[in-house]
Structure 1
Amino acid sequence: MRTIFTVFLLLSFFALDGFSQRRALRTAESHIDNNRFTQAISVLQPLLVGEDVNREAYLLSGIAYLSVPGGSERALELFDIAIEHYPLEDKPSRRALEARFYKAQALHLDYRFEEALGLHTELLEVIPSSEGDLIEAVNREIAYGEQALYMVQNPVPFEIQTMGRAFNSSHDDHSPVVALDESTIYFTSNRPLSETEREEGQYFENIYVSYWRDGAWTAATPLELPGNYYGNRATVSLSPDGNSLFFFQNDGAIGNLYESRLEFGEWTEPIPFPPPINSGYNESHASLSLDGERIYFTSDRPGGYGGKDLYVSHLLPDGFWGEPLNLGPEINTPLNEESPFLHPDGRTLYFSSEGHASMGGYDIFSSILDDVDGEWSEPTNLGYPINTPDDDIFFMPTPDGQRVYYASRQPDGFGSTDIYLITFPSEDDRSLAVVASHIYDENKMPYSDAVVRIYDQENELLQGIYRPNSLTGKFVAVLPAGRSYRLELQTEGYEPFEQVFTLEVRDVYGTRNRATYLEPIMLKRGE
C-alpha cells in the first residue's frame, strides 16, 4: 500500500499544475473514447487526490468505472460528487446533463430500475431541444428500464451454473464455441499469456480450448495456431464436423474473419475469408449452416440499417461465396446487431441486438425463418436472467435445445465476463439429437478416408453426408429425434457397411449421456 500511496502523491504533486491537469483529463477522455477504461482510471486516480480536484475528473472517473466489471458502485459515488459540482441551471451545461445521464445508467446496471427511470424522466424535462442525440439516448434508456422491469418480474425458468476455473478467470472469458457432441469447447480470453504481458498490463484476446476427459473438463490451454500473429483473436464458430475453426482477427484498423482447418491433429495456417465476406470493413462474428451452404455474419459495411448488421451469403456451385444479403429490417435496426448463431435446425437464428426490445445494451434474441416466404419472424427476447442489464452477446444452444453455453457478467462470477451453462427443464421437449460414432480399420486404428451417408428409413430421404475426423475417425450428425435411420458407409478397399438405428424422442443426448454414440464401426477388407 505504501508504494501505491507514494506514486499517487508524486503524480498528484505534478498534476497540480493546471496545464498538466488538462492534459491528463484529455488523455483520460481519449482512453474512454477508445474503450481503454482501465487506462483511463489509472490516469484519473491521481487527479482525485487533494483538496482542489477538477470536477471533470469526477465525471470522467465515473464514466470509466461504469464500464469496468464491478465498477458501478464506485461510479455512483463519483457521479454523486460530480452532480454536486455540476448544478442544473437555467441553461444546464452538457457536463451537468451527462453526469445525471450516466448516474441513471449506473443505477440501471445496479438493478435499481425505478430510480434510473425517475432520473431519466427528470432529465427529459430539462434537456434543451438542441441536444437531440442526448434526448434520443435518454428515451432509449427509458425503454430499457421499462423492459427490464417487465422481464425481471417474469423470469424464464432454467438452471445456470458456472463452467468453473477450467474456463473462467479474473479476466474476460467469452464466446464459447462448442463441438456438436460437446466434447470440445473453444473460447476467447484476454488473460495474460506471459509474465511480460502481465507486467505491461496489455492483454490481447486469444483462443483457448478445453476437452471433456474422464468426466470433467480439462484446464483450458491456448490454442496453438501456425504463424507469428501478435494481436486480438476471438472465437466465432465451428464447422459441423469440428474440423474448421472460424475466428475474428484484428488486422490493424479493421477486423476480419479467418478459417483454420484441423488436419491430422494439427491446425493449418489461418486463411482470411475471401471477398465478399471480408469487405475492408469490420466483420466480427459468423455462423455456418449445418450443410455448409450458408454463412450468417456481422458487418458494418456501408448500405446497412445502421451500426453493425447481420448478413447471409450462399455458397455457389463454383465453390465461391455469393453476394451477401442484408437480413432486412425485421432483424437489423439503426443500432448494432451481433453474434449470429444458426441452430442446426437451419431455421432458428439467435443473435444479439441493442435495437430491439432490450433490457439494457445487447440482449439475446431469436427469430425463425419461414420456409414458405423466406421471411424472418419478429425477434423474441430470450428473457431474464439469460439477458441482464449489461451486454449479453454470445449464445450457443446445443442441438436438442436443452442446454446453452454462453458468456455473461453475473454477481457470483470470477471477476469479469465468465462462461456459463444453462439447463432448461427436462419436460421442455426438443426435436434434434446428436449422433456420433468412430471408424476403425482392420488394425484398430482411426480411419478417416470414408464417406458416411444417413437416410431416413421411412421416406428414404438423404439426411446428410459426413466425413470422419482425420485424427480420431469420429463423425457427428444432427438428426430429428423420434425416427429410424439407415447409415451407409463406403470406402475404397473395404466392404460396405450398413446399420439401422432409432432415435427415441425422449432419449438423453450429448456427451456425459447427451449424445447417442453408436457402436464403433470396424472396417473389413474387401475381397
Structure 2
Amino acid sequence: MKHELNSSRYLRDSRIFQLLLPIRKLKKYEFLTFRKNKRHVIGIPIEMNRIFSGLFILFCAFSSSCVLAQEGVSNVTQEEVDKEINETVEEKKQRELKITKRSALDHYYNGNFRSALDEFLILLAKDPENVDFSFYVGTCYLESYIDKSKAIVYLEYAVQQDKFPKEAIYQLGRAYMFELRFDEAITTFNKYKDILRGDNDHIISGGRMIEQCFNAKQLIKYPIDATFENLGSSVNSAYPDFNPFIPEDESFLIFTSKRPDCLGLQIDLDGFKTPDIFRARESGGEFRQARNIGSAVNTEWYEEVVGISADGQELLVYIDNFDGYDDIYVSPRKGRFFDDYLDLGRNINSDEVETTAGLSTDGNLIFFSREEGNGATGTDLYMSRRLPNGNWGIAQKLPDVINTPYNEAFPHLMADQKTFYFSSEGHASMGGFDIFITEWDEITNTWSVPKNAGYPINTVDDDFNVSLSTTGRYGYVSQYRQDEGFGERDIYRITFNEVDPIRTIVRGSITNIKDSLNLDPDIHVGSFEMTVTDMNTDEFIGTYRPNMKSSNYAQILQPGEYCVYVEGELYFDTSEVVAVLGKSSYVSEIIQNYTLRPDPDAIRRKRTGEKYGGLIYAASGSEDGKAKIWDLPSGRQVLSLDNKVGVSEVAFSGNGKYALSGTRTGEVNLWNMPDGSQSKSLTGHTGPITEAVFTKKSKSILTASADSTIRLWNVSTGVVEKIYVGHLDGVNDISISPDNNYFVSASGDGNVLMWEIESEELVGIFDQHKGSVNAVSYSPSGNYVLSAGQDGTVKKWDASTAEELLDFKLHSSPVNAVAVSPNGLMAVSGSDNGFVYVWDIYTGDVKHVLLGHDKPVSSVFISADSKYIITGSAGRNPIIWDLLTGDEVVSLVGHQGGINDVAFTPYIKFPEKEEKSVRDLAQVEPENLEDDIERLEQDLAAIEEQKRLGYDPSLIDVDLFSSKEFVVGQKIILERIYFDFDKFSIRDESVVELNKLLVFLDKNPNVSVEISGHTDSRGADDYNQKLSLSRARSVVGWLKKRKVAGKRMVPKGYGETRPIAPNENPDGSDNPDGRQMNRRIELTITAL
C-alpha cells in the first residue's frame, strides 16, 4: 500500500494514529447530509468541509505531538503555565466546552453523526436554549440510524427562535418526510423557498423536495404487496450492513459491512471501521453465519461489493485506497474462495471516479456509474461490451431517459436482457436514492421512461439496490426499518406476494467421462451449447452455455415439458426431457446433470487434420462463373460448380458439409460436399457478394455485399436473421472474432466497424485509413485486428480500444487482401502490383515475397495448420505456396477468367511426398535410352558454345530477394523479362521478374545499377543497338514509375554484340531458343 505510516508499529500503537489517518473522500451516496443540488452542509461546501476537517486533524496531530514531546523542547512559557494553574472553575468549564464543540463540529462535518450527537447533547444540556446546538442535535438524529423520529422536536424548537440556521427549516422538512407527514413537509419546504428567495440553488432544492413529497404520497397510496424478513443475526450486525447480492442459483449471499471484525485498521470518517465484504452460504432456505471473505479481497482500506456475476464466479468490488482514485475491480472465484482483484481496464476505470457496476447474465455487458468533473455533474451510468480478447470495449454513456442531472448508481440488467434496474436521485424519487425500472423496446431500440419500483422497496431514505432472484419471487435490500433491526441498516429478504412461484430453476453441471480419451486443452465443457425447446409447442426457448470454469449451468423454466439438447465439438450430442410441474406439484428447483462421451473419430480428425470424407480441398471462384474445387496437392480439379455469373466469394463450412459461392449478382449458393449438388440459394443482397463466413458450428452464415449491408443467415432455413446497417459505401470484407460474438467489417467509406453479432450493435470504429478499406482480419487471439486499404497500408489495431498499434507500409500499391495465420505469428497481404508479402505480425519484418502473379492479387488464405497459403489474382491461376519457405507448391490451372476469391477446407494437411531410394531408381530401366543420350550430347554442346561466347550460367541463377552478398561488377540476367520480335514494349508476363528487381532495389537503397538491353542477330547492327537501348529504357521507366530514383539506374544498349547463345545452329538453320536468350535484359552492379 502507498501510505508508509501504516507500516509503522509506533504509529499503530500511539494515541495520535487515528488523527494521522488519510482523509477519505466520502461517496455522495454514503451517509451524506445533502446530495445532488444539496452539496453543502450548513452553508459550507463538502469539499471545504474536507479541507477544514483535514486542517483540524493535522492541527490536533501537531498539538498532540507537542504534548508528547520531551520537556526539554517544550515551547510553553512559564506565564502560560501559571495562567492554567490559576484558571477558575468557570474558565476551565468554558475551555472544555470549546474543545467539545470543536470535536462535535469535526465529527459532524466528517459524517460521524453518532459521535457528533453525543457531544452536541452534552453541549445542549449545558446550554438548553442554544439554537445552533438544537439544530445540530436534530440533524444528527436525522442523519444517523439511532432514532430519526427524535429529530423533529429539536428542529421545531430551532426554527421557532428569532435567529436560526436557514438550513434548519430544510432539515425539518426532511424530518417530517421520514415520519411520513408529507403535508407538513410540503408546507415547510415552501417556507424554505420563501426564506431563501433569490438563492437559485436552494429554491431548486426546496422545489425538488416538494416533488418528492408528492411522489411519496402517491406511491404509499398504492404499495407493493411484499413481505420483509430481516435475515437475522447470522447475517446482520449492530453496524451498517449493506449492498446485498446473490448469484442466480441463490447459493450464497454476499454483502458489505462495517462491523468490528473487518480486517482493516482504518476508522472511516463516520466513526465505523472501513468496510469489508462478507458471505453467508445458503442451507435449507436459511443463511448460515456470515464470514469475512478473506484478505485476498478485503484489505486495510475501503472495499464494497457492488455487483456479482450471474454464476457467482466474479465479484465487482469498489475500492478506495485513499490515493484519490476510486475504481471498480473484479475478484474471480477460485474454488471456494475469491481471489485477489483485477483491474477492469482503462475503458472502465478512467481518471474520473467509478463506484458501482453490474454484469449482464452472460457476462458480456457491464454497466457502471462514473462521476465526471469532480462531481459537478453527478454520477451517470455507462455501458461497455466485453471484446473477444476478454477486455472491455469503449464505454458508452446511457441515454438521458436514464441519466438525469442528479446521481445514478447500482445498474443491473436482468436475465431477460430487457429489464434494467438502477438507483437514482432523479426521476420520480420519493426521497434520496430510489430504485427504478426501465424496459428495452426491441422495435424502437429505446429504453422506456423509468418507473419507480414502488413502496416499500423504496422509502424516503436512500434505497440503492435490490438483488432479485432469477424467479423474481425474492429480492434482497439494505434498509433501516424502525424497531425491526439491529441498530443500523440491515439486510432484508423481500417476498413479492403478487409474483406467483411458477418458474423453476433447472440447474446442474456438465461433466465428461473420467476415463475418456485425452482431449485437446482448448476443448472444454464450457464451450458447449444447451438448446431448450418446448416439446408441446416446438417453441424455441433459448440457448444456454455452462460456466467456462465450473461447468455449472442454470435455466429458468415455466411449467411444461422441455427437450434439452447438449452439443459440443469432439463429443457425442446428448439430450434429456425435463418436466417442470406446476400448482400443487411445484418445486422451486430441479437438479439435472449431464455426462458427455467424447467422439474418438472427431478427436482423430481434429488432431490429424483429416477432412470429413477423407478429401483435402481448395476452392477458387472466378469471373468465368465457376467455383472450382481442387484436390491437393495434386492440383487436380474434382468439382466445377456452375453459378452462371461471376463468382466473387468461396468458403467452406467448418464441419466440411458445405461449400459456398457468392456471386456478382448477390446470390449466395450452398453446395453439398463432396458430391457438389446444390443445397440452396440465399437471395436478398442487391450487390455483389464480397465476403461470406460460416459462424461457429456452421449454423449461420455472415455475408457482406457491395450494397453496403451485412446479413446473418440461418443455414437450415435460408432465412435472414439479422441485417447490419452502418456503412456509407459497399462492404469489402468481414472477419469474425474467435469467440463468434463479434465481427469487423471493412468498407469503401474508409472505416472498419466492429459489431456485436447478437445485438446488431456497433461497438467500435477504426477510422485511420485514407480511402477505401479493402480487407480485414481478426487475430486468432482476438486481441487485435488487421486492416488493408487503398492507401497501400496494413494497419494493426487494438481490438479493445480501437487504438492503432502499428502501420505497415510494405506495399507501393493498394492492398486488396490480408490474413493472419492461425498460429498468430505471420500475416500475408496481397496488392495491386501482384506482390504477396509474408511478414512477421509483431515486427513487420518481411519473411518472403511471393512473386507469381502478374495481375492484382484479389485474395489470400492461410491453411489451418499455418503451413500453406493459397493466393488468387486477376489472372486465371490460383497458386499454393509453402508459408515457411516461400516456395510455390502448385499452380491450379483450369479457370477461364480472373480469380476473385480462394479458400482451403477447415482442416488441411498435405501428404508427404513419396521419396525413392537410389537403389530403386537404379533398378528402373530407362525408355528410349538412345534418344536421351543424343539430347544430353546436344545440351553439352550448347553449354560449350555458351562458354565460348563468355556466358556464365550462374548469372541466371540469382535470387534477388534472398541473396545477401553482391559485388561491384557482378552481372545478373533478368531471365523472364520478355519482348516481342522487333519491339521494346514489355510483355505482361515480365511483371513477375520486374517485381523481383523492384523489391531488390527497395531493400538495397545504396545499390546503383546498369540496366543493359541485348538483341539477337536479326536486323542491322545500328538498328539492333537502338532497339536494345529502347528496351533498357523501358525497364528503367517502369521502375521510375514505382518510385525508384533515376540516378541509381543507367540504361545501356549493346545490340547483338554480346550474345550468350548461338543465333544459328551448326548447320546454319535458325536457332529460336538461342535468339530468345539473346533478347534479354542484364543487370550490372555499379555501386554499393
Query: TM-score category by the smaller chain?
Result: 0.7 to 0.9
The answer (yes or no) to whether the contact 1:235–1:246 under 8 Å persists in 2 is yes
Highest Rg: 1 or 2?
Answer: 2
Alignment pair present for 1:180 and 2:258? no
Q: Name whichever of 483-492 and 280-289 sits farther off.
A: 483-492
In structure 2, what is the Cα distance between the partners aligned to 1:186 and 1:194?
A: 15
In structure 1, what is the Cα distance between the partners aligned to 2:328 and 2:154?
A: 40
In structure 2, what is the Cα distance between the partners aligned to 1:232 and 1:14?
A: 40
- 1:379 CA displacement: 0.6
- 1:521 CA displacement: 3.2
Q: Which residue of 2 aligns with 1:500?
A: 577
- 1:333 CA displacement: 1.0
Alignment pair present for 1:476 and 2:548? no
Offset from partner CA, 1:147-171 (integer Å, 9 cap, x none): 1112212111122222222211111
Q: Which residue of 2 aligns with 1:487?
A: 565
Alignment pair present for 1:62 and 2:138? yes
- 1:69 CA displacement: 0.6
Q: Map 1:34-113 onto structure 2 (within 5 A).
A: 34-51=110-127, 54-87=130-163, 95-113=164-182
Distance 1:221 1:378, change over 3 A: same
Q: Which residue of 2 aligns with 1:270?
A: 341
Q: Which has the higher contact order (CA 8 A, sep 6+)?
A: 1
In structure 1, what is the Cα distance between the partners aligned to 2:360 and 2:135?
A: 46
Distance 1:213 1:449, change over 3 A: farther
One-letter amino acid of the structure 2 residue matched with residue 16 of structure 1:
Q
Q: Which residue of 2 aligns with 1:350?
A: 421
Distance 1:515 1:236, change over 3 A: farther
In structure 2, what is the Cα distance between the partners aligned to 1:289 and 1:191?
A: 30
Q: Which residue of 1 aligns with 2:218?
A: 150
Alignment pair present for 1:418 and 2:490? yes
Q: Name whichever of 36-45 and 167-176 sits farther off.
A: 36-45
- 1:220 CA displacement: 0.5
In structure 2, what is the Cα distance between the partners aligned to 1:385 and 1:228?
A: 32
SS of 2:137's equivalent in the other structure is helix
Q: Identify the match of residue 391 of structure 1 among 462, 487, 499.
A: 462
- 1:126 CA displacement: 3.1
- 1:330 CA displacement: 0.6
Q: Structure 2: where are the runs of 5+ without partners?
A: 1-88, 516-522, 601-1088
SS of 1:338's equivalent in the other structure is strand
Alignment pair present for 1:282 and 2:353? yes
In structure 2, what is the Cα distance between the partners aligned to 1:405 and 1:474?
A: 23
- 1:14 CA displacement: 5.0
Q: TM-score, normalised by structure 1?
A: 0.84
In structure 2, what is the Cα distance between the partners aligned to 1:393 and 1:263?
A: 29
In structure 1, what is the Cα distance between the partners aligned to 2:561 and 2:396?
A: 35
Distance 1:286 1:206, change over 3 A: same
Q: Which residue of 1 aligns with 2:529?
A: 453
Alignment pair present for 1:137 and 2:205? yes
Alignment pair present for 1:516 and 2:590? yes
In structure 2, what is the Cα distance between the partners aligned to 1:15 and 1:312?
A: 58
The answer (yes or no) to whether the contact 1:104–1:116 under 8 Å persists in 2 is yes
The answer (yes or no) to whether the contact 1:344–1:478 under 8 Å persists in 2 is no
Q: Identify the match of residue 479 of structure 2 among 392, 395, 408.
A: 408
Offset from partner CA, 1:119-154 (integer Å, 9 cap, x none): 22233333331x222211111111111111122121
Q: Map 1:240-389 onto structure 2 (within 5 A).
A: 240-252=310-322, 253-302=324-373, 306-389=377-460
SS of 2:438's equivalent in the other structure is strand
One-letter amino acid of the structure 1 residue matched with residue 300 of structure 2:
Y
One-letter amino acid of the structure 2 residue matched with residue 514 of structure 1:
S
Q: Which residue of 1 aligns with 2:230?
A: 162
- 1:478 CA displacement: 4.5
In structure 1, what is the Cα distance between the partners aligned to 2:428 and 2:237?
A: 31
- 1:298 CA displacement: 1.0
Q: Structure 1: where are the runs of 5+ without partners?
A: 1-10, 88-94
- 1:17 CA displacement: 3.7
In structure 1, what is the Cα distance between the partners aligned to 2:406 and 2:247?
A: 31
Distance 1:234 1:194, change over 3 A: closer
Q: Identify the match of residue 127 of structure 1 among 171, 189, 196.
A: 196
Q: TM-score, normalised by structure 2?
A: 0.42
Q: How many aligned residue pairs are there?
A: 496
Q: Map 1:228-239 onto structure 2 (within 5 A).
A: 229-239=299-309
Identity %: 27
- 1:525 CA displacement: 7.5
In structure 2, what is the Cα distance between the partners aligned to 1:382 and 1:370?
A: 19
Offset from partner CA, 1:469-511 (integer Å, 9 cap, x none): 54xx64334467757242315587x7654323254677998xx
Distance 1:74 1:313, change over 3 A: same
Distance 1:352 1:63, change over 3 A: same
Q: Identify the match of residue 545 of structure 2 among 465, 485, 489.
A: 465
- 1:372 CA displacement: 2.6
Distance 1:461 1:202, change over 3 A: closer
SS of 1:484's equivalent in the other structure is strand
Distance 1:364 1:462, change over 3 A: closer
The answer (yes or no) to whether the contact 2:435–2:466 under 8 Å persists in 1 is yes
Offset from partner CA, 1:309-361 (integer Å, 9 cap, x none): 11111223343322211112111111111111111111111111111111111
One-letter amino acid of the structure 2 residue matched with residue 97 of structure 1:
K
- 1:221 CA displacement: 0.5
The answer (yes or no) to whether the contact 2:314–2:330 under 8 Å persists in 1 is yes
One-letter amino acid of the structure 2 residue matched with residue 142 of structure 1:
I
Distance 1:505 1:246, change over 3 A: farther
The answer (yes or no) to whether the contact 2:219–2:454 under 8 Å persists in 1 is yes
Q: Which residue of 1 aligns with 2:184?
A: 115
